Amino acid sequence: MGEFDLIRRFFQRPAAAGVEVGVGDDCAVLVPTPGARWLVSSDMLVEGRHFLSTVDPARLGHKALAVNLSDLAACGATPRGFTLALALPRADEAWLAGFAQGLWALADASGIPLIGGDTTQGPLNLCLTVFGEAPPGQALLRSGARVGDEIWVSGRLGDARLALEVFRGRVVLAGEAFEQVRVAMELPTPRLALGQALRGVATAALDISDGLLGDLGHLLAASGVGATLELAALPRSAVLAVQPPAVQQECLLAGGDDYELVFTAPPGARLPDVGVPLTRIGRIEAAPGLRVVDARGERVDHGLRSFDHFQS
């Protein structure tokens, strides 16, 4: 199987609505919605850093797209298309069939067509770039949080990190409990409907990929504000809730790979119900920095920091 057969067999389909030219020319050609802004994000996944070499290829196909869609969700964008650049050690048909199946399933469910990309031989590396649209002035940015805003998070935090700790041998879980956290790690759900519903409601938003502390820190820095987080309020699964407190803290505050949205909104804002639980976890304050407090309001000395690819 050559390079172009590979593309045709696994990654080429008739062009979708709004796509004048899809896979197969030098560029894809898309028709923007009149007046809309274009939102663009790119994420690269490397074996051993972002996924384990043993992961089911269908789950990897899902996750590679999901983490990119999560950035569109964080900005409240409507997905319009994505490119996929793949470096593969070899053209392994079974692996490619699985990968493509997981990728297309999420692409179809999210209404986002694959419009182009690249295929090359090399150490396994997946680089996706996603495009979306939002009305002018309505993209959710990190910079809009205001003193007095409440801080909210979608879904639950920490399960993906707990699964990683099982793979690392630091935590023991079996059966259903392991399967549940493994699904959180391998099959994250991008919060696209929530992001779009938060346009005009949230003052700032981002998605949690490197851990709540670090990611929320970016939002605070961009907005020029500080915050207090309530550790007890952080939403967690029943599986995580029975782990030792230190494990819970690490998974909740610095876990990463959550792909939930954290956003700010004024008290009393009418939050959308799109079937995703939303939990109030803290408040924006004028004093710079991010304080974590326990149920009695006392500072928690967690000693944690966020994931950094060159300092971890």
Instruction: Choose between 46 and 271: whose C-beta lies nearer to a copy of itself.
Output: 46
User: With CB under 8 A as the contact rule, which of the stretches 44-52, 53-61, 101-109, 266-274 interacts with a copy of itself?
Assistant: 44-52
Residue 46 CB, shortest distance to a copy of itself, in Å, is: 3
Q: How far apart are CA 16 and CA 94, in angstroms?
A: 26
Contact criterion met (CB below 8 Å) for 82 and 130: yes
The DSSP element (H or E) to which 200 belongs, if any, is: none
Q: Is 297 exposed, middle or buried (0-12, 13-18, 19+ CB in 10 A)?
A: exposed
Cβ neighbors of 131 (< 8 A, separation 6 or more) are: 30, 38, 39, 40, 79, 80, 81, 82
CA-wise closest residue to 115 among 231, 50, 27, 8: 27
- Minimal distance, residue 146 CB to a copy of itself, in Å: 17
Q: Does 254 bind a copy of itself (CB under 8 A)?
A: no
Among 10, 65, 71, 151, indicate the residue that binds a copy of itself (CB under 8 A): 71
Residue 14 within binding range of a copy of itself, rule CB under 8 A: no
* Residue indicated by tokens 């023991």: 172
Residue 168 binds a copy of itself (CB under 8 A): no
CA angle at 311 for the pair 308 and 312, rounded to the nearest 5°: 75
Q: Residue 113 corresponds to which amino acid?
A: P
Residue 131, annotated ligand binder? no
Stretch that binds a copy of itself, among 101-109, 129-137, 154-162, 181-189 (CB under 8 A): 129-137
Rule CB under 8 A: choose which of 13, 111, 121, 286 binds a copy of itself: 121
If binding is defined by CB under 8 A, does position 127 make contact with a copy of itself? yes
Asked if 221 and 203 count as a contact pair (C-beta separation under 8 A), the reply is no
Q: Could you write out the DSSP letters of every residue in 72-134?
A: HHHTTPEEEEEEEEEEESS--HHHHHHHHHHHHHHHHHHT--EEEEEEEESS-EEEEEEEEEE
Within residues 196-235, the interface with a copy of itself by CB under 8 A covers: 205-207, 222
Choose one: 35-43, 98-106, 174-182, 233-241; the region binding a copy of itself (CB under 8 A): 35-43
For a copy of itself, the binding residue among 49, 277, 288, 294 (CB under 8 A) is: 49
> Would you count residue 166 as binding a copy of itself (CB under 8 A)?
no
Among 16, 87, 247, 271, binds a copy of itself (CB under 8 A): 87
By CB under 8 A, residue 309 contacts a copy of itself: yes
Residue whose CB is less far from a copy of itself, 111 or 121: 121
Q: Give CA–CA dist 54/42, Å, rounded.
A: 24
Q: Per rule CB under 8 A, is residue 144 in the interface with a copy of itself? A: no
Feature table: binding site? 26, 41-43, 50, 71, 117-118, 142, 207, 209-210, 257, 307
Feature table: binding site for ATP? 117-118, 142, 209
